Every structure is written in C-alpha cells, then in structure tokens.
Chains A and B, each alone.
Chain A
Amino acid sequence: MNKKKKNILLLLLALACLAGAGAFYAYKEFNRKAEDLSSAKAAYQVTAVELIDAFTGNEAGGNAKYLSQVIEISGTLKKTDQDEKGNKILVLGDTTSMSSVRCSLDSLYGKAGVFEQGSLVKIKGICTGFMADDLGIGSDVILTRCIPVKQ
C-alpha cells in the first residue's frame, strides 16, 4: 500500500516536471526574438554585382536561391542612407550602375561604425528579395538585419 502511494506520488511529480518544462519551452518560444546574425553562418558568399546579376532578368530564380538565406556580400559602398531612427542602410554595388544591394544594418549595429564611401565593405545579412526596376529608379536586392563582417 505504502509502495503504491509512493509510486503515484512519483508519477505525479514527473508529470508536473514535464508540464513545467513544456510551459517553460512555450514561454521561451513565444518570446523568442529574431536571432543576431553575428554567429550565423552564411549560406552564400557573393559580390554585390553577382547578387544583382542573379536577380536581374530572373527574379524567380534569384528568389528560389537566395530568399531568407544568410548571405555574406562584398562590394563597393556607393552611399549610406538612413532610416528615420538613424539606422544606417549601406548601398553596395557598381558605382556606374543604378542597381544596388541595399543592406539595412541590424539596430544593434545600426548607428555605430564609420563606413567610407567608395571603400570595399563586407556584410552579412538576410536576403528579403528583389525590387525590380519598373519605375526608372534602379533595381535593388534587399538585405536586412545586416552586420559588418570583420576582415
């Protein structure tokens, strides 16, 4: 009798632990933030011009290969834009072309760092797609949550 009671108690304890672990996991998952890319491994390493070429004329092909992927990209810094919160957007590509790769820096890194126009920069980010040039303002590949890669 005593042994049976003990068993039931143990079983209840195990169940409580499981429920607790489940709740903890659900809570963590619910509150999970987007990961910081500094430790993420790049799926592709390409130059800005190569990346633009991959999308130009074959947007679906570019999307199939690069969409949502972490990409390490190198290229000449054409200019630096800013969003309203002061986070930097680095525009890479061939300076003679209207097309570029636009990399918005992760807000963790967005304000820091000096980037010299015309210099070669290396950046890691997630590809969110391609804005085809149907309006005469140049086409762009967009990368978000970018961080500079130390060379």
Chain B
Amino acid sequence: MKKLFILITLFGLLGSAQAQNRFFTKTGKISFDATTPKSPENIDAVNKNSTCVLDSKTGDIQFSVLMKGFEFDRALMMEHFNENYAESDKFPKTIYKGIIVNNAAVNYSKDGSYPAKVKGKLTMHGETRDLETEGTLTIKNGKVAVSAIFPALLSDYRIGIPQLVADKVAKTAKITVDCTLEPLTK
C-alpha cells in the first residue's frame, strides 16, 4: 500500500515536472511565400491557427498547420492553392517534427535571445522529407517566441507547378514560423 502510494506520488511528480517543461500555442502564425521576381503578384498566405509544442528539456519541437486555414488576399489564389497545388482535401495537414540541436545552450529560465538550429522532418502533401534550418528562440517573461524560416523545395513534396507558370511560382517556398509559446499548465 505504502509502495503504491509512493509510486503514485512519483508518477504525479513526474507528470507535473513534464508539464512544466512544455510550451505551446494554438494561435501560432505560419506563413508561406512562393513569390519570384517574375510573379505578377505576391504569392503568399498566412495561417494564424497553427499549433506549436516545444519541450524545453529534450528540445523536441513540433508545428502543425491545416492547409485549408491559409488565408490569401485573393480568393482565386486560395482556390488554386487548395485544389491544384496542396490538394488540401486529400492532405489536410502539414506537420514538422524536429529537435533543437543546440537545446542545451538555451536557458529557458533566463530572458534573452538564443540562436537555434533545428533538425527534423516535414510532412506535406503526403511526402516526408528531412528539413533543417536555423532560427531564433526569444525567452521573455516565461514565454518562448520561436521564429524561423524553412525553405521547402516544392518538387520534393510532389507539388507540381504547371509549365505555363513555371517561372512565376518559386521552386522553393519560404515557410516562415512566428509563434509565441506559453508554458503548458494543467
């Protein structure tokens, strides 16, 4: 009985300790830009309902975003994006799972700005590819701001660009992450 009690307390402690290591947001901003110098207009969109979770202990970081949630200036571009390029009905979600390589160098309890290198896998349009980049973690008042730019070569993800507009859509889309994470308290 006593052992059981200790075990339960231990698990409880473990659980709460784990919870304190985690930061998250559900209102993260992820935008993408596939504009080239030859594009007649900006090809960009923003999604403000992205989820991001970061474990400060292990450096595990994950972003998820719903393709249909990208907002464009032009409705027509949004329709083309969803129907012809991203095929959002078939592949509604894009997920990046990675790890902060230099996590040990980041002091999450001290305000400041830290360069971060992430390594991981991006799953988009049903394809998974290794993807790494460098970004910044800014710690302020217990919150963690994550900003980074991921370059995604569209052909890697089987996203085809029709010949007719080949020089008007960038071959590598710039995915910009801008999220402020709050500590996860349960």
Contacts and interface: CB of A to CB of B under 8 A. Distances in A.
Nearest to B60: A135
Interface size band for B: 20 to 34
Given A32-B74, A135-B53, A137-B184, A129 B27 contact: no
Contact of A84 (B29, B68, B76, B82): B29
Contact of B66 (A32, A137, A142): A142
Interface string A66-99: 0110000000000001111001010000000000
A79 to B, nearest CB: 11
Contacts of A137: 24, 26, 51, 53, 184
B93 interface: yes
A68 B74 contact: no
A10 B69 CA distance: 49
B66 A128 contact: yes
B113 interface: no
A131 interface: yes
A29 B76 CA distance: 7
A140 B68 CA distance: 15
Contacts of B27: 81-83, 89
Contacts of B78: 34
Contacts of B184: 136-137
A32 B76 contact: yes
B71 A34 contact: yes
A43 to B, nearest CB: 15
Interface in A4-34: 29-34
B95 to A, nearest CB: 9
Interface of A: 29-35, 63, 67-68, 81-84, 87, 89, 102, 104, 126-131, 135-137, 140, 142, 144
Give 6 nearest A-B pairs by CB, closest first. Answer: A128-B68, A129-B66, A128-B69, A129-B92, A135-B53, A32-B75
